[in-house]
Amino acid sequence: MYIITAVFLDALFGDPKRFLHPVSGIGFIVSFWEKHLYPKEDKKQAGIIFCCAVLATVAAAVGLILIVASLIHPIFYYAAILYLSYAALAWRSLKDETMAVALALFSGDLDKARESLSRVVGRDTQKLEEPGIVRAAVETTGENFIDGVFSVLFFAALGYAIGGPTFAVILVWLFKAASTMDSMVGYDNEQYREFGFASAKLDDALNFIPARLGGVIAILAGACLGYSPARGFKVFLRDRKKHKSPNSAHGESAFAGLLGIKLGGDASYDGVAEARPEIGDGLKEPETNDILRAHLILDASVALCVLILLCLFRK
C-alpha cells in the first residue's frame, strides 16, 4: 500500500521544504477566503461559508493535480499520490523538533532548550525549568502523534477502503485543511470566536475517533516496549478528557500513563496565566530522557499502525 511507502519516506526525509509543502498552499487558500469573507457582518455564518469554501478549494486543487498527473503518465499519478501522502505526515518533523529540545537540555543550555521548545508549543517558555520543558515536549509529542500522524493514517486507510488512492489522498488533505483552518482561525478570542467556530468544531469532529483509537494504539505500542499497559489505560481512561479540547488529552494521557509522569498543569500563554488540570500520576519527576522515551513510544506506535495497515490491506 502506497501509504506505507509514504511513512518510510517521512521517516527518511521529514517534511518537504516549506515552499514545496502543500500545507503552505492551504495556508494561502485559508488567507484568501478569510480576506474575502471575514468582513461580512454575520461572523458565524461567514465562518461556515469560509469553512466550506476552503474545503471545496482544497479538494478541487488536489483532484486537479491528480487528474493532470494521470493524464501525463501513470508514473506521474502514482508519484503525486505518494508525494501528497508523504507530505501529509509529521512523524519525523515532530521528532526532530523535540529532539532539538532534548539535545539542548543534555548540553545544559536551558535558554536554547526554551527557544527550541517555543517553536513547537504555544505556551510561554521563557521561565520554564528542565521539568517544565520536558513536560511540554512530551505533551506535544503525545498530542501531535494524533493529529500529525495517526489521524492522517486513519483517513488514508478510510479513504482507500471507500474509494481507492485518489479518494484517500483527497480525504487526507481535507483533514489537513480542517487542521490548518483550526490553527489559523479556530481561536476562542474576540477576533475569531464567531468566525472560527465552524473550523474549530470541524477539526474536533474529524479528530474525535482518531484521538481515541490513537490513545489505545500508543498504549499497546508502549506495552510492546515494556511499559505497563495497565497503568497506561488507567491514566488514559481517567484523564483523557482533562482538556478544553475534546481530543487533545487522549494522546497526552496515554504517554503520561506509560512514562509515569505528570503532564498538563498551569501554563502561561502570551503572558496570561491559564489554569489547566494535571494529567498522569507523577510517579517520578520528568527528566530529559523522558523526551527520548516518548520518541520510542511514538516510533513503536507508528510501527504498530503500519503492521495494522499491512494486515488490513494485505491483498
Considering the entire predicted model, what is its pTM?
0.95
* pLDDT at site 74: 95
Q: Which residues contact 108 (CB under 8 A, 6 or more apart)?
A: none
Q: Is the pLDDT of residue 87 over 70?
A: yes
Contact predicate 214/150, CB 8 Å:
yes
The C-alpha cell of 285 is what?
519527576
Q: What is the average pLDDT across 227-255?
A: 94
Task: Tell me how far apart the alpha carbons of residues 7 and 85 are, in angstroms, rounded to a whole number.
Answer: 8
Q: Is the pLDDT of residue 5 over 90?
A: yes
pLDDT tens profile 38-62:
999 999 999 999 999 999 999 999 9
Instruction: Find, among 4, 20, 24, the residue nearest to 152 by Cα.
Output: 4
How does residue 2 score in pLDDT terms, banded at 50, 70 and 90? confident
Task: Tell me how far apart the alpha carbons of residues 273 and 265 are, in angstroms, rounded to a whole number.
Answer: 11
Q: Is the pLDDT of residue 20 over 80?
A: no
What are φ and ψ of residue 246, in 5° steps? -70, -10
* pLDDT at site 48: 97
* pLDDT at site 223: 98
Q: What is the average pLDDT across 203-212?
A: 97
The mean of the pLDDT values for the chain is: 94
How does residue 22 score in pLDDT terms, banded at 50, 70 and 90? very high
Q: What is the average pLDDT across 168-186?
A: 97
Q: Is the pLDDT of residue 1 over 80?
A: no
Instruction: State how many domains the chain has.
Output: 1
Question: Exposure of 178 by Cβ count < 10 A (0-12 exposed, 13-18 middle, 19+ buried)?
Answer: buried
* pLDDT at site 287: 96
pLDDT tens profile 101-155:
999 999 999 999 999 999 998 888 898 999 999 999 999 999 999 999 999 999 9
* pLDDT at site 315: 63
Phi-psi map region of 25: left, alpha, beta (phi>0 left; psi -120 to 50 alpha): alpha
* pLDDT at site 210: 97
How does residue 21 score in pLDDT terms, banded at 50, 70 and 90? confident
How many other C-beta atoms can be found within 10 angstroms of the C-beta atom of residue 61?
17
pLDDT tens profile 251-293:
999 999 999 999 988 888 877 788 889 999 989 999 999 999 9
pLDDT tens profile 93-103:
999 999 999 99
Q: Is the pLDDT of residue 19 over 80?
A: no
What are φ and ψ of residue 97, in 5° steps? -65, -45
Q: Which residues contact 240 (CB under 8 A, 6 or more apart)?
A: 212, 215, 249, 250, 253, 254
Domain coverage including residue 292: 2-312
Task: Tell me how far apart the alpha carbons of residues 255 and 261 are, in angstroms, rounded to a whole number.
Answer: 9
